[in-house]
Structure 1
């Protein structure tokens, strides 16, 4: 009896001590624990997504790939597989599984370490959200306390939803949706029993059981999960037998990018990182850009095609590398494979090593160790490159160019393999809606993987004749008209020992011509005389109306020939002012930013739009009419003739939202500043059509744009000295597009082949091919003539009122600037005598 009393007292004391220890321990370990109710509104780490205007995925940034689902979106077979694998008593326990704890303690004592956690699904959620992964008693106690609290605040379904959304499945896949796609290319509701079992077995050891890296381990683990599902009656014996016989059938599926726009994606990524830091990659932001798939792909294809065409025209620069020569021992297969694995493919061009070359064909091996054959047809273009202006003779046989041991580039655009080479030249394209500035397409270079430098927003290049419409617009402001005569004759300017002779291209001169012809035929000397007429400082200041940074504008006569340097984005914006009636729109790339966790919109862009129905006055400047008496005189130049290179502005952040815009709740329509009168913009826009369609007896420099088959297109070519930069900028409908091509090395010139490279034949075709797609569904735009613009019939030669109906044409004038004098009627100087003989009177 005394022993019994002793035992009762002993156990009571133990119980009391245990209770006290538990209370003290609970209080001690609870004091710093987080509030589990935050899990009701938890934001899972979700990657940054960049999308097109239409919601098509362009890029994903972030280590963890995750697509959160609601519980009712998760198939029951997946839930059952997870319960069978991780926590068979999930629906019975209150957050901790006492049987599992006892088992874990037993194994821990036996192994002298806690290798078995005995954690329930609830505990795993608690650990992943609130605790560190360390294995210790203190962390385990905190985990248990949190699990108990979670079971009081959350339903079983909510806990399972958290688990299946947050758990790591390996291969950067977090959550069941991401894992389903990563390993099977499916959504969770499409998973079969064997696939669900495979995924359910991964969280325990994502790397060790990875089905791609360790298929045998993964298969064993999957079959174990299936047996657990059978034991717990989640599947039948027949289902088990069928599922266990199936192969893994897994492969890695990268996120499904709808189309590639890496320069766009990088601009969006940089902006989001600057605004949100590292959280940009984890907080589930969706950035909707303004670009569309159709336009972006058209831009990409056109730029790449014409870069390759240029590169082929200028000849083959030789093998990428010589691995061995004819008199040397050939490399073995392993050596070849190692060198090829160091190279990647660019725009369907891949590295290869020539193994054998004969007169008719060459055999080469690719990175995947497959062998290909390059016939003469696939390399007959490869005449040697000598310089930018010289090429050698075309090859007569394959062995003239290809030799065993050469590391080369190849591509297969159709049925045969072709010799290729990575282009040295580069290009950029910017296309935008001229009415509101929305970027429709933007290309920053040939290949983002070769160079991440964004030439569309960062490359400052001289404009050449692409600047002429803006200076001619300034002359219209000063009272000149499209019928004003300027002399197309050589100019020689001598200053000390230096002589400046601006020349036309081609160097032909036709005497006095109307300003419209000078623009359409891109007469350089007429542009210099126009600049002299209005003054350099006036012209330079006027250029700011088009959004050009004043820091970039040169103050000398070479400004007339495009010596100032701007980015393609700045140029496209400037041409939009002419195309939209005189409004300085602000280009933008980001339409809106959403948080995918709650679908809230945290930023919505409100563009400044061109107001075609507004009646307002543009920015006032000195528009006092000028005389043409000084066009042969050297213009006064300011002391600071050329801008400092270090001060030039690229405005590469122009198209991205300003930080404080996100707090602007005013949704009222906002209008862009009216910087050019609608009358002048209308006339200059019509003048740019002349460069496409020409006039009686002459052809405009942009005649290739007639291939679009539309009357609402216009634009201007541009070529700098030695063809170092070539441009084409123009409009069609409400779309303005600028194309630039050149070398990143400013010393290189685009040169010539059978003809000199220039804006008309090098940049204009890029523009045309892109606009064929971009304008496909855009209706032809009919510009309404402003009330203050009148149409007057003029004499084609003099621009004055005609004496008769012969050799006349219609021209636009702003009221008050139309001609009032008649052209002098030419009188013949020949006389005929009575015998019918003619002779000169003088």
Structure 2
């Protein structure tokens, strides 16, 4: 008995000494432990999220996926699963569990190695925040002290909340909210009991015991968690059995991106990294709201992709991407499906393998699933591609196009599946709000996966006739009017320096003699643009064009400027056109509306300079964009571009004419929405290497561009396809702004204008109108088809009435006139 009593006293004494030593060490190290402020305000690394203006998630950037949650937002069964498995005495101990420590000590004595360690949730939190995962005594001691310190500074609920948001679950998921999304694509409140048990079992070995990397080990671990819940009477036996029988159906889920806009998302990512640095950009949980609406962005993406496919189809089929086998030795279906999993989906196209070819159809196995029948409507477009200018004969049967074993691509259209190929040209659409410069939509190419080059903001291409509204604006500023007659006749100018004559020509090569400026702009007359430049002087025009935001040093100092030899990005062109749309103000494009923290605190709100006459809206004074041309000048140029859409003259009297944008008239959806309140201008460069269309309604300016990234490669021409109806092939002949870029613009605007203003172009103060004779440009007393009312700046209307039509007042800059 004396021995037993002595032993007990000794153990008690050792315990007291141990407590005193530990307490002393804690007090000694306390100053070096994390501060209470650091513990309470510890930053949870959370990725940046990018949203459309109406709240749809566009993209998520950051290595760590995390969805911070309050403890009350986490389902109690999930909390129970963690407590039962990781630390059933969590609410009872002081940060270190003596029973767990005793178990760890027993394992050390019996095995000679540190094994489980008996760490509490508080200790695991300490390790995750401040320490490594090495199994050493020094780390365990530091872990214990930090755990004690945490318990002295935070409540149990605060500790548990931090733990559930911090712990790692594999596949870059940190916190239970992210784990629910990554493995099950669910909100945490929608998880089943079996799914909660699976997540609660992951902290033990998140990289090797998760249900994606090792489903069998994950199932075994889930069973352990469910067993602990049952043992702790947190679930019933029927619940246990049902959860145990539930299959493991976890798979890797991407963030809940509801709208794909990769080019816009990359613009945001680059800007946020520039502002905040990579670490803060990817880890602060910033929420970035763009100026682009989901509806308009989707419309832009669809317009670019569908119109590039239309271009590609009319130029012919380039053949299979690969020939895998022949009809005599076909691959089994399993081998085909395995192969297809290795081939990338690009844009709207899915890889497929031809398994059977009939007379006017083909059966393919596609990456998207089961066998698909391609009917003749989906095949008949595929005449052979010869070169940019030529296509082969229209196919008569499916075997003219495909053979068994071909690896091809298909895409889904409104009319069903269709043979496809990845389009070769590049394209871009950029849309701006003209009153403040907010980017409403931005698409920089067919597929961001295929090319990250953002042609909407990076591609500097020759603008062709898209330059002409700016040339005409300068002319109106320098004494010309919409009624001024300019000689539309060939120019033949000898250059003694080069020994070559410069002969700028119209496209098409048609000349009409004296022509009013309104009609010349609407018909995009090249020689008229040259004559205007000559009349004003190159220096005058270059200086004037800088008003629209164009770089002075990038503008050519020769007459080719009048034909669009200057290179600009689609964004720069759209910004210039916005000056006409908003009454003469130069706005600055922007695409970030606001930035908030993870807790929705606004840390940045855009304050753009706006186009306005009275810059005070409500109680908040706004910044005013600089006015670079007069409202009257902007109105007159807009009138000229309006005629590019609607034409003029009298068709009944055989004097009617169309402008280059007449195809807009055929868009009943667009016309029914905006009426005649729409303007625009085509643009095509030499050899059709760049095609443009820029235009606007009062609330939206849009520029579209199509061309090859190889600046030496022309877009070519097409002939009619005998297999297709006239409705199916609206475009033939040479490609150009009106045929290549305009259809894409129309496609986008048909949807985009549903949500923007399309008000009439009201006559501004100071503008006068007068009836003029169309042939002479003089005032007229007639009121028939030979005349029209025209708008003028004060003092610029003609003062003379026409008496006869033998001597029109024609501006002609040289001796090459045919008159």
Q: Flag whether TM exceeds 0.5 (same fold).
A: yes
1:556-604 CA distance string (max 9 Å, x none): 11111100000000000000001101100000011111111x3222211
CA 1:7–1:105 in structure 2 vs 1: closer, same or farther (change >3 Å)? Answer: closer
Write the mapping of 1:402-551 to structure 2, written as runs, cut at 5 A.
402-413=402-413, 417-496=417-496, 497-551=499-553
Q: How many residues align?
A: 776
Contact 1:733 1:775 in 2 (8 A): no
Contact 1:36 1:146 in 2 (8 A): no
- What residue is the counterpart of 1:780 in the other structure? 758
1:416 Cα offset (Å): 5.0
Paired residue for 1:761, among 739, 757, 760?
739
Contact 1:679 1:786 in 2 (8 A): yes
1:18 Cα offset (Å): 3.9
Contact 2:355 2:405 in 1 (8 A): yes
- What residue is the counterpart of 1:67 in the other structure? 67
Matches of 1:429 and 1:695, distance apart in 2 = 29
- 348-357 vs 103-112, which deviates more? 348-357
1:174-233 CA distance string (max 9 Å, x none): 212222233333322233333322221122122333123333322222222122112222
1:664-710 CA distance string (max 9 Å, x none): xx974101111111111111112211111111121111112223212
Matches of 1:568 and 1:100, distance apart in 2 = 67
The 3-state SS of whatever aligns with 2:545 is helix
CA 1:585–1:216 in structure 2 vs 1: closer, same or farther (change >3 Å)? Answer: same
Paired residue for 1:720, among 663, 685, 689?
685
- What residue is the counterpart of 2:633 in the other structure? 680
Matches of 1:338 and 1:190, distance apart in 2 = 33
CA 1:391–1:543 in structure 2 vs 1: closer, same or farther (change >3 Å)? Answer: same
1:802 Cα offset (Å): 1.3
- What residue is the counterpart of 1:557 in the other structure? 559
Contact 2:615 2:622 in 1 (8 A): no
- 335-344 vs 535-544, which deviates more? 335-344
- What residue is the counterpart of 1:645 in the other structure? none
Contact 1:108 1:116 in 2 (8 A): no
CA 1:745–1:343 in structure 2 vs 1: closer, same or farther (change >3 Å)? Answer: same
1:110-150 CA distance string (max 9 Å, x none): 22221212111111111111112222111111111111111
1:25 Cα offset (Å): 4.0
The 3-state SS of whatever aligns with 2:132 is coil
Matches of 1:473 and 1:748, distance apart in 2 = 32
Matches of 1:410 and 1:712, distance apart in 2 = 39
Q: Normalized against structure 1, the TM-score is what?
A: 0.88
Paired residue for 1:799, among 766, 777, 797?
777
The 3-state SS of whatever aligns with 2:717 is coil
Write the mapping of 1:309-708 to structure 2, written as runs, cut at 5 A.
309-323=310-324, 340-367=340-367, 370-413=370-413, 417-496=417-496, 497-596=499-598, 598-613=599-614, 668-696=621-649, 697-706=656-665, 707=667, 708=670
Matches of 2:346 and 2:75, distance apart in 1 = 41
1:774-801 CA distance string (max 9 Å, x none): 1113343133322221111111112211
Contact 2:350 2:368 in 1 (8 A): no
Matches of 2:352 and 2:489, distance apart in 1 = 55
Contact 1:714 1:730 in 2 (8 A): yes
Contact 2:700 2:757 in 1 (8 A): no
1:338 Cα offset (Å): 6.4
CA 1:765–1:822 in structure 2 vs 1: closer, same or farther (change >3 Å)? Answer: same
Paired residue for 2:714, among 749, 756, 759?
749
CA 1:774–1:586 in structure 2 vs 1: closer, same or farther (change >3 Å)? Answer: same
1:639-673 CA distance string (max 9 Å, x none): xxxxxxxxxxxxxxxxxxxxxxxxxxx97410111
> Structure 1: which 5+ residue stretches go unaligned?
616-665, 829-842
Paired residue for 2:792, among 813, 832, 836?
813
1:335 Cα offset (Å): 7.1
2:292 matched to 1:285? no
The 3-state SS of whatever aligns with 1:113 is coil
The 3-state SS of whatever aligns with 1:60 is strand
1:29 Cα offset (Å): 5.1
Aligned Cα root-mean-square deviation (Å): 2.5
1:254 Cα offset (Å): 2.2
CA 1:90–1:302 in structure 2 vs 1: closer, same or farther (change >3 Å)? Answer: same
CA 1:510–1:727 in structure 2 vs 1: closer, same or farther (change >3 Å)? Answer: same
> Structure 2: which 5+ residue stretches go unaligned?
650-655, 720-732, 808-819
- 50-59 vs 10-19, which deviates more? 10-19
CA 1:115–1:820 in structure 2 vs 1: closer, same or farther (change >3 Å)? Answer: same
